[in-house]
């Protein structure tokens, strides 16, 4: 029983990571209107910038992480402006396929610059704590903590600030938002920065709790897609719930089936969801 509970706990951690990784993805999906496959690669970009500064140049971890996140946000903005904006009028399918191209380019660049193989951050080993017979490391707690913090900040941002409200308006109905005087370009810019920044944060988390290899992004994309689709077009809250469901399902399933199938559990959850309730956990259907 404790083993199951332990898996559930790890599942919560995985879930929190997935929430961080997917919020940005959901954001671009709702505001920009397409599934950005390259989003997963941004996690890798951030993770490796952090590694480069930390293990490579000897910087302490926090400045490395901050620089990585900011850099990732800017890179994401650049790609959004240069690659996606000109082709958005061609429809979500074209942009989806183009984003696969972007993913290829980023992955190729990372492989070229960094080579293959596993890298590790130059940080102290994880300390494990025990609560009620369950184990959790300090880094895992950081992930959970940051996810909670991000969730709250994001909720405040989206509900209280001008840009945040603009983003919400645009994700609900772009034409209406534009006609009501919302600066579409600026909101779009903000969305890219925010979304890529969040991917950057998730990438740093990944570097902290997982093993860093240059393939890492590809392995995440299935899970991110899973959470995003399960969450549907709803608010932040559905992403949180979806993330936790997928995370826990994935890790708890290890109790019964080989760990190699973990990512596929994520996807089975989604395929079933798509067939049974295409709008996911949210209440909304895209108009």
Partner 1 sequence: MNTVFQIGLTVLMFGSLFSVLTLSLNLQYARGGMINFGTVAYFAAGAYAYAIVTQEPPHGLDQYLVGLDMPWWVGFIAAGIAAMAFAILTGWPTLRLRGEYLALTTFAFAEMLNSLLVNERGIGNGTVGLANVERPDANILGLSENIVYALAAFALMLATAYAFRRLLASPYGRAVDAIRDDEVAAQAIGKDIARLRFQVFVISSIPIGFAGALYAMITTLVNPDLFSAEVTFFVWIALVLGGERTLLGVVIGTMALVGFQEVIRAIPFESVRAAEIAASAEDIVTGILFIVILRWQPFSALARRRQAA
- Binding region for partner 1 (CB under 8 A): 34-35, 83, 86-87, 90-94, 96-98, 100-109, 111-112, 115-116, 218, 222, 225, 229, 258, 260-261, 263-264, 267-268, 270-271, 274-275, 278
Q: Pick between residue 125 and residue 276 the one whose CB is nearest to partner 1.
A: 276
Least separation in angstroms between residue 12's CB and partner 1 is: 24
Least separation in angstroms between residue 286's CB and partner 1 is: 10
- Alpha carbon separation from 216 to 45, 178, 253, 277 (Å, rounded): 10, 38, 21, 30
Q: Pick between residue 60 and residue 101 the one whose CB is nearest to partner 1.
A: 101
* Cβ atoms 29, 36 nearer than 8 A: yes
Cα R_g (the chain), whole angstroms = 19
Q: Pick between residue 83 and residue 172 the one whose CB is nearest to partner 1.
A: 83
Least separation in angstroms between residue 78's CB and partner 1 is: 13
What tokens were used for 221? 């994309």
Nearest Cα residue to 42 out of 192, 175, 259: 192
Least separation in angstroms between residue 153's CB and partner 1 is: 30
Per DSSP, the three-state class of 213 is: strand
Q: What are the phi and psi torsion angles at 59 (to 5°)? A: -70, 155
Q: Pick between residue 16 and residue 35 the one whose CB is nearest to partner 1.
A: 35
* Cβ atoms 47, 206 nearer than 8 A: yes
Least separation in angstroms between residue 285's CB and partner 1 is: 12
CB burial of 187-206 (b: ≥16 within 10 Å; e: otherwise) equals: bbebbbbbbbbbbbbbbbbb
Q: Pick between residue 21 and residue 225 the one whose CB is nearest to partner 1.
A: 225
* Cβ atoms 39, 194 nearer than 8 A: no
């Amino acid at each position: 029983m404790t083993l199951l509970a332990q898996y559930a706990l790890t599942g919560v951690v995985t879930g929190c990571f997935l929430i961080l990784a997917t919020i940005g993805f959901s954001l671009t999906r709702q505001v920009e209107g397409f599934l950005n496959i390259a989003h997963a690669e941004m996690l890798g970009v951030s993770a490796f910038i952090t590694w480069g500064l930390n293990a490579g140049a000897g910087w302490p971890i926090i400045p490395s992480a901050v620089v990585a996140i900011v850099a990732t946000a800017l890179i994401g903005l650049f790609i959004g402006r240069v690659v996606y904006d000109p082709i958005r009028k061609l429809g979500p399918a074209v942009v989806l396929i183009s984003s696969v191209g972007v993913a290829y380019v980023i992955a190729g660049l990372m492989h070229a610059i960094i080579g293959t193989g596993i890298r590790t951050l130059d940080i102290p080993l994880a300390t494990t704590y025990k609560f009620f017979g369950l184990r959790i490391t300090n880094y895992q707690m950081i992930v959970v903590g940051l996810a909670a913090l991000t969730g709250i900040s994001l909720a405040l941002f989206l509900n209280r600030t001008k840009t945040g409200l603009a983003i919400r308006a645009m994700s609900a109905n772009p034409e209406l938002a534009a006609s009501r005087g919302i600066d579409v370009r600026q909101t779009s810019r903000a969305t890219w920065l925010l979304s890529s920044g969040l991917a950057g944060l998730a990438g740093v988390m990944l570097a902290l709790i997982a093993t860093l290899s240059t393939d890492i992004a590809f392995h995440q994309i299935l899970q991110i897609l899973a959470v995003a689709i399960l969450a549907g077009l709803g608010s932040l809250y559905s992403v949180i719930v979806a993330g936790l469901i997928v995370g826990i399902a994935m890790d708890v399933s290890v109790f019964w089936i080989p760990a190699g199938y973990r990512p596929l559990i994520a996807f089975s959850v989604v395929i079933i969801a798509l067939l049974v309730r295409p709008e996911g956990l949210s209440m909304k259907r895209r108009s």
